[in-house]
Structures are given as C-alpha cells and as structure tokens.
Structure 1
Amino acid sequence: MLVARVILLPGKERRLLAGHLWVYEGEIKKVEGEVEPGGIVSVYSSRGKFLGRGYFNPHSQITVRLLTREDEEINESFLRRRLEAALAFRQRVVKEASAYRLVNGEGDLLPGLVVDRYGDYLVVQVLTLGMEKLRPLLIPLLVELLSPRGIYERSDVSSREKEGLPPATGLLYGEVPRRVTIREGELSFLVDIYEGQKTGFFLDQRENRQILSTLTAGMRVLDCFCYTGGFAVAAAKGEAEEVVAVDVSEQALELARENAVLNGVEEKISWREANCFDELRRLEKAGEKFDLVILDPPAFTKSKEALPSAMRGYKEINLRALKLLRPGGLLFTCSCSYHLTEPLFWEVVLSAAQDARRTLRLVEFRRQARDHAILPTVPETYYLKCGIFQVI
C-alpha cells in the first residue's frame, strides 16, 4: 500500500512522541508523494522514524491528525476495532443512563468524530475533512454494531469551516423524531435532537447532575444558565425546598418546564427568563439569599485572544453568586471553556471569593462525565471543570 509521507522539521516530533495526535502546518518540512485533502498519510521524523498514520488536510492549521501509531491500513476493519473499543469502554463506565457519548473524538483515537447515543437513536458530528472521507465506512458500521432505529447528523459547528467544510444536518439512517426522552438514574429529560445545544443535550454534565441531587435536600437553590432544566430538575428531585432557574432563552425554558413536569417537580421550580448577569445583580440588590447557587454558563471564550475578557466574566458571576450564599451555602460552579484551564479556573474562583470576602472549603472538584473520554496527552480533550465549594 503506497501512502504519502509527511516529514517533520527537526525536533517537531516531540509532541507526538509524548502522546499528542496533531501535526500543525508549521511543523512540516515536506510531503512526499501524492495525497488528496482528507487522504491518509504516514508521518515521519526528520531522521526517518515512523511516528504514526492519520489523515491530511493542507487547508487546515492542524494539517495531520493521527489515527494510529502502528503501520496499519486505515480501513473498515480498523474503524470497527476503534468503535468496538469505544463501546466496550462505555459499557464499563456508564451506569443507569440511556443517553451517553459513544465516541469522543481524540479521546477514542477517532479525531473529528463525535457519536452520542440517545436511547434507540444516534446523533453524529463529523468535524474534519479526514473523517468526512471515512463517513461511507463509519455509518454502516454504526448501524451494524448498535442497531439504532435512526441516525441523525448534527455537524452544524463552526469548526468545520476551518476544515473547508459547510455545516451539515439531517437524517442519515432510519427514522429519528425531533424529540426523545432519555433517562439518567431517577431523572428523565426531553431532548430536542434537531436543534438542541451540542447534539441535543449536555451529556457531559450527567454525572455532575447526579452528584448535585445528593446535596440539595431542604435547600433554596438558584440555577443560573439553566438551559432546559437539567440541574434545576436534579436539584428539585434531590428534595430541594425551592429552585429558582434562570435562562435567557424562552425556547429552552419551555422545554425546561416540560422536563419539570416529566419528573413531577414542577411545583418546586420557578422559571425566570432573564440575562443571568443582570439577574444576579438584581437578586443581590433585592437582598435575596440562597443555600446553593449553580453556575453553568456557556463557554465565554473559544480562543486564547478572548481569554482575559472571559476571565472577567467568569469572575463576575462567581463573585455575585458568592454574595448570594448564606453561611454554609454551596457554590456549584462550572466552566466548559478549554482555554480556561484548571489553574485559571481556580484563580478565577479564589479571586472572586477574596473580593466577596468569603472563605471557601472544597467539597469536591469534578470534570466532564467519564464517557467524554480525556487523553492526558491531548489536553484539548479536557474542557469541563466543575468545582463544589462551601462558604465557611
């Protein structure tokens, strides 16, 4: 099998040897042989050492993404093994849930591919040109291995533009309804597969919702950026006395109300359509107090350049949340921005606590659910931070 060769500049193999999967445009000395964009290449060090095999896109800043470190063919058999390994991992780490991430890109050594399972249905995101080229092999394999009733595509993400690809959504196999009901332990949620955030729901917070429900008994809870009510419902189901849930999206709140009814907790939750920054200020001015405040904002930054502004935003919401907490109250604060690293997350929270004149005790520090697999050698796979703190 003739495969084009990508030769790296001297010293540029170090990150790959340390376990990363990406080769940037500026790390390449030359390409030997013919390869179409999206095609398979072998990667070599400047001294001729074989480093791995992956797909190639000369129009992307990340020019090569490794699929394997072995000298093996990238074919149906290879993809079958990768998908079977991903499924076996989820069978081990996912418990009592009908919805979870089956494939998490680099975390499953399938960069550019996301597959989420919502009961009998699959939702797929194809994020790169190389994975787009492998689509004709992948979809039949998903059907064979998982026997879904339907597969829907949600490749409507901005990152495809960097790969020279347009957004893509629509039915790929079988039938998929717009809305499905999923189960997480004792919780149930309605999910809008066609238009919901990400692939329909924030599956990465599943384990954190379960933890939250163990903490809220008898509490007055504020849930900011509540979206379709995942944390609010979990708090109410955990015997919270009252939950105030805030989001700027009327459409999200409509589904949140339905989720409350679905779980029998509609009497405990009041929903407010408002900008969370404004509502936090209003609540503070009104002298409101809570026993637990949840902050789960959208990513305030998707680039390093916007990080300083994002840190100011994260600090402000944490500062205001801390001022709303009674002594002994809990702050349940999250960030899903990769660029806000764990050390920076700690810096923001502790700086907010200092300005609010609050002393914090760490209850627990958490990350994304285990099905959203993290490769320690690929730091980009770790993005969700969740700190649970008590005001003492």
Structure 2
Amino acid sequence: MTMLLSHSVGAGPAAAPRSNEVVHRRCTAVAHATRQKSGASTSKTSDVDVDGRGPTMQSSTRGRTKAGDITKRETKPHKARPPKESAPQGDDAGEAGEGLEGLDELLADEGAVRQLRTSLLASLSAQHEQAMRSEQMTPTTPDAEASGSPPALPAGAATITADRRTTTPKHNTDKSATINGDGAAAGVPLVVLKKDKARLFVSGNPMVYGGAVDCVIARPPPGIGEPVMVTDASRRPVGWGVYNPHSMFRVRLFQMQSEVEADPRVALNVPALVQLRVRQAVELRRALGLPSADTNVYRLINSEGDRLSGLVADVLGDTVVVQAGAGWVQRYRQDVESAIRAATGLTRVVWRPLWRILQEEGLQPPDEAAEADTGTETEMLEVREAGLRLLASPKGQKTGFYADQRDSRGFLAGLVRAQAAAGLPVSVLDLCCYSGGFGLAAAAAGATRVLGVDSSEPAVKLATANAELNGLSATASFVRADISDFMKAAVAQGQQYDVVVLDPPKLAPDRSALARARIKYLRLNTLAMRLVRPGGLLMTCSCSGAMTQSNEFVGMVVEAAQQVGRQPTLLREAGAAADHVLNPAYPEGEYLTNVTMRLL
C-alpha cells in the first residue's frame, strides 16, 4: 500500500537514518547540571514520586492531562518541517516482521535472558553518559523555537541545523539502535518527561501527552511509530512505547519499566510485542467464550484495553476487520495482520484506516485508486449472535457490526422472554435501529410486534433482510424516517409501546460539544418517554465518550422523566460488552452507556 507520510516511514521498527542527528530542548541544561555530579548513574529502576493519584484518578479530569500541562510551544500553530527519512528497502524492510523468532530458545537460556535484561537497563546509563560527554547539546530557548531560528551555540560547538523543534549536530553519525552484549544502545531515542510528570504513568496510563514531555534526545529524530524509551526528569526509566512527533499523544506506552525488568523479551521490539499482545487478546476472548457455536461476531482487540493503543479489530465470522486509529498501527500494518492471522487462524483481514484520525497523526491518505483493500462496499457477510443469523458489511458503520451492544441485546431479550412466558404481549419500538439488532433480538425472544426506525435507507434495507433471514418478517418491520420527526408524529397519534429502545449516534465527539449534546439527548429522551406505556421500559443509550465519562447521562434521563411527569426506576446501567475490555488506568476508553428504566 502506498503511504504519504509527513515523515516517510518504513514497515519496520526504524526508518533509514539521515545524516543529521537530533538533541533537544531543555535536556542539555539537565545534562550540564548532571555532569557536575561525578559517578551519577541513571540505569536503576525509577522510584518516581507517587502521590497515589495519576490523571486517571482525579475525578475532575477523568484521566486526562490537564489543559495547563500543554505548553504554549506545544499548542502554538506552526508549519512543521518534517525530517526527510527514507523507508527501508529490500532486506531491511523485512526485518520488522521477524517478531519473536528464536524466542523459545532465548527463554531456554536463562543466562541470555539475564544478559538482555542487564543490557536494557545498562543502555540508559550508556546513553546518558554519552549525552553528558556531548558538548554540542544546547538548550533551545522559547524565542528561538518560536521564530524557527537556531539557538545560540557555545564556543567551538558544531554547526547546527534547526527545524523548529530540534537541533542537529551534522558530524555525529552514530546510527546504532540495537542493544548489544555490552549494554550499548546509543541509537534508542530518549523521551524525557518534565519534573513530577512521571507519577502520572505509574498506574499504567499509556498516553504521554506532548505537554508532559520536556525534551527528546535522539539521533536521528524519532519518526512515526519509532520505539522510544521514556524517562523521568532524572533520566530514570519509566517504560517504552512508540513515538509520534505530530500527535497530541506523543508516546503510546507499551511496557512499564517493571515489566521490562521482569521479562525483557519484547522490549523495544514492536512486531514482537504486537504478536504477544494479539495472542493474549485471543486467549482472553476464548476465556469469555468467544467465538461460540451461536456467536461468531465479537471484538478481538480493543485498543488501550488490550494494551495496543489505537488498534481495534472485530471478528465477523471468518473475517477480521481492523480499524487503524494511530500512526504506529498503519506503519506496522504487515506485522499486525500477520499476528492476527497467526493467533486466530483466520486468513482474511480487511484493513480500514481511520483517515480523519490518521491525518492528525501526521499521515496522509493515498490516492484511492492505489489503496488496496480486501473489502468492498456491497459485500455482505453472514454472522451469528445468540443464534440469530445476521448480515454485516466489512465496509459498513464502525467495523460493520455493533458488537458492543451484544450483552444489552441479550438483556433485552431476557426481559421480553419473561413477559412472553407469562402470556403477555410485548410491543417494541427500536429507534436508530441500524441492522435491527435490538428489535430482532426482541422478536426472536417472543415480542408480538417490533417496529424499527432509522434515517439511513441502507440500514433499513439491511434490517429488513435480517428479519427475512431469520423468518421474523411477520413480527418485525422497519421504516426510514428521522427519529425526531417520527417520535413527534407518533406522540401526536397517541402511540405507545411496552419497550422503547433509543440508541442514537454519537452526539458529543468531545468535551467541547458536551453541553450542546446534553440538550439533544434530553430532547430525544423526553420524546421517547412519551411513547412508553405506564409501567413500560425505556432502554436509552449514549455512545459519546464525553457524556459517559462525565457521569451525567443517568441524571439527564431522570431530568427528562421529570419534564414529562414520569417516575423512573433504574433497572440496569451498563457499558460495552465484556469483550470490549478496558484499561482501568485509562478511563477514556469508556464510551458507551446503556440505561434501562421502568417508567410509571
């Protein structure tokens, strides 16, 4: 696949280095100060200041870095001058896929494991000492950086080439990025955090925002997806991850230093780590009973939850649909696909780059004619969920199927089944029905009448086809309409249902839109409640992460009930299905809220 990158990158862990090298910002000041202390060492394990709270533990920020943490320099608009790197060619390009080759042999040799661990720790010390010896490292002043001019140089310093962010001594051409037997690792880039920022990541938060970074020491400058070591302000290791000079997420951490010390096999090796994490994700889904005889559509990899930030993959029968939502994922596409095939035994992978996000990560979409993709717009796959046969498109909404609501569809089916078993008729209104998941689950459980509404004609056709596929056309029907207009007309006609499901699209893409989104949610829910018969049920949802993380959704639903004079009883509040695993240190991964209430 042809890629146009702001920094040209290869398929492997590191692009071919250029002659220029980088060192920057205030690191030099730290280096000169540290050099005055003879015998200083930074190779020991970090004992960062921990106050018991990271950003993820503070209710006011819900895990985000505060806005004030982002420096003016980081947020100031500028036209970056990307480094000119060339992608590895020939044999070099293939080295990225070697992954865990020889891993078993390495494990069998305990001495080799100890040596590798020692080498990794010693590498930081070696790199630090080398930085201390360098007389070319000069702090970049804010004025110089803002103007794009090179900083002032000490007498006798080498000529510096500046690119707004970094200064590069031309004569230093050390290109090594390997950890060899004597512990040297001069080519591994260092990302040094600001003072006291390391504590934010002790709990396992994987996202290092640009505002937390003090400086980067690297030769050449790290590009998109390049492995880097992250240290605290004293150069004590915090962990390692992948770098992106363009992203607000400057580093996505893959391993904390304690993990590296315990098991160094995949340290600084992105293909090997991907292979390991994908295998762990598959094993976890099997523990959850997925796939099973009656369900073969599910979330396989859930970004930060599976510790592969930016990577999402869903299994649709015998096909895996991958969403690439980070620059490193796109760079290591071949490694990701290979790892998925090896771990699942499924050979077909449909790759779906999220270009709106990837452009923010410094990538540009290739010409559509050059973009190879194994999916097609009209292709339909048949999958199974709880025994229902359903059609899904690998090129449809999300990955083609909303597996995140599987548990909630099962909950609704259980409620309907209980009513039907008691001989009670159950009518269901499924608003924003898409492929008919909720309505068809209710129909299969014994609902006497199901009506689905969606504003998308393709969605209505898909839901209708799914009803026919399961022999439920006599019970379930679907119409195209704007849901607000539909509900207003239905209220005017005095229509009421035993169960109303309201599952609108994302209304708050970020926190800045939350206030406006809350008004929309309130209006939709007041209309929906007017369509619920006394004693009936409302299942209402929000897939807006900003709303879910604000903990305002239930309160908004209660307010809607008060506005229409209904008395709500909360039966259930849930998130995404169990296969959408979460990293507890990163609550931003929570996005879905599903609330079921009885309305008197």
Aligned partner (choices 283, 300, 314) of residue 102 of structure 1:
300
Q: Do 1:156 and 1:167's aligned partners in 2 also have CA atoms closer than 8 Å?
A: no
The number of residues matched between the two structures is 391
Shift of the alpha carbon at 1:174? 11
1:337 match:
544
Of residues 212-221 and 118-127 in structure 1, the stretch that sits farther from structure 2 once superposed is 212-221
Q: Do 2:568 and 2:598's aligned partners in 1 also have CA atoms closer than 8 Å?
A: yes
Letter of the structure 2 residue corresponding to residue 28 of structure 1: V
1:40 match:
227
Say if 1:175 and 1:144 are closer, same or farther in 2 by CA, change over 3 A: farther
1:117 match:
315
Aligned partner (choices 242, 245, 251) of residue 64 of structure 1:
251
TM normalised by structure 1 equals 0.95
Q: Higher strand share goes to which structure?
A: 1
**Aligned: 1:133 with 2:331:** yes
Say if 1:221 and 1:369 are closer, same or farther in 2 by CA, change over 3 A: same
Letter of the structure 2 residue corresponding to residue 330 of structure 1: L
Q: Do 1:104 and 1:115's aligned partners in 2 also have CA atoms closer than 8 Å?
A: yes
Of residues 2-11 and 74-83 in structure 1, the stretch that sits farther from structure 2 once superposed is 74-83
Of residues 150-159 and 238-247 in structure 1, the stretch that sits farther from structure 2 once superposed is 150-159
Say if 1:304 and 1:388 are closer, same or farther in 2 by CA, change over 3 A: same
Shift of the alpha carbon at 1:301? 1.4
Aligned partner (choices 270, 277, 284) of residue 82 of structure 1:
277
Give the distance between the partners of 1:320 and 1:121, measured in 2 at CA: 39
**Aligned: 1:11 with 2:190:** no
**Aligned: 1:369 with 2:570:** no
Shift of the alpha carbon at 1:166? 3.6
Aligned partner (choices 200, 203, 207) of residue 22 of structure 1:
207
Shift of the alpha carbon at 1:177? 8.6
Letter of the structure 2 residue corresponding to residue 43 of structure 1: V
Structure 2 unaligned blocks of 5 or more: 1-178, 180-184, 261-266
1:215 match:
415
2:384 match:
183
Say if 1:256 and 1:375 are closer, same or farther in 2 by CA, change over 3 A: same
Q: Do 2:487 and 2:528's aligned partners in 1 also have CA atoms closer than 8 Å?
A: yes
SS of residue paired to 1:288: coil
Shift of the alpha carbon at 1:381? 1.1
Give the distance between the partners of 2:328 and 2:354, measured in 1 at CA: 17
Give the distance between the partners of 1:386 and 1:345, measured in 2 at CA: 9
* Cα deviation 1:310-367 (Å, max 9, x = unaligned): 1111111111111111111001011111000252111211111111111111111111
Give the distance between the partners of 2:354 and 2:464, measured in 1 at CA: 26
Say if 1:177 and 1:116 are closer, same or farther in 2 by CA, change over 3 A: farther
Letter of the structure 2 residue corresponding to residue 116 of structure 1: D
Shift of the alpha carbon at 1:274? 0.6
* Cα deviation 1:136-177 (Å, max 9, x = unaligned): 322122222222241111224522221122457966679999
Mapping for residues 148-163 of structure 1, pairs under 5 Å: 148-163=346-361
Give the distance between the partners of 2:372 and 2:401, measured in 1 at CA: 18
Give the distance between the partners of 1:148 and 1:18, measured in 2 at CA: 35
* Cα deviation 1:261-289 (Å, max 9, x = unaligned): 11111111222211111111111111111
Say if 1:176 and 1:319 are closer, same or farther in 2 by CA, change over 3 A: closer
2:565 match:
357
Say if 1:176 and 1:324 are closer, same or farther in 2 by CA, change over 3 A: closer
Shift of the alpha carbon at 1:248? 0.4
Of residues 212-221 and 284-293 in structure 1, the stretch that sits farther from structure 2 once superposed is 212-221
* Cα deviation 1:218-255 (Å, max 9, x = unaligned): 21111110011111111111111111111000111011
Percent identity, please: 35
SS of residue paired to 1:305: helix
**Aligned: 1:165 with 2:363:** yes
CA RMSD across the alignment: 1.9
Aligned partner (choices 236, 251, 256) of residue 463 of structure 2:
256
Give the distance between the partners of 1:20 and 1:54, measured in 2 at CA: 12
Of residues 235-244 and 153-162 in structure 1, the stretch that sits farther from structure 2 once superposed is 153-162
Q: Do 1:151 and 1:172's aligned partners in 2 also have CA atoms closer than 8 Å?
A: no
Of residues 104-113 and 94-103 in structure 1, the stretch that sits farther from structure 2 once superposed is 94-103
Give the distance between the partners of 1:20 and 1:277, measured in 2 at CA: 40
2:442 match:
235
Give the distance between the partners of 2:575 and 2:318, measured in 1 at CA: 27
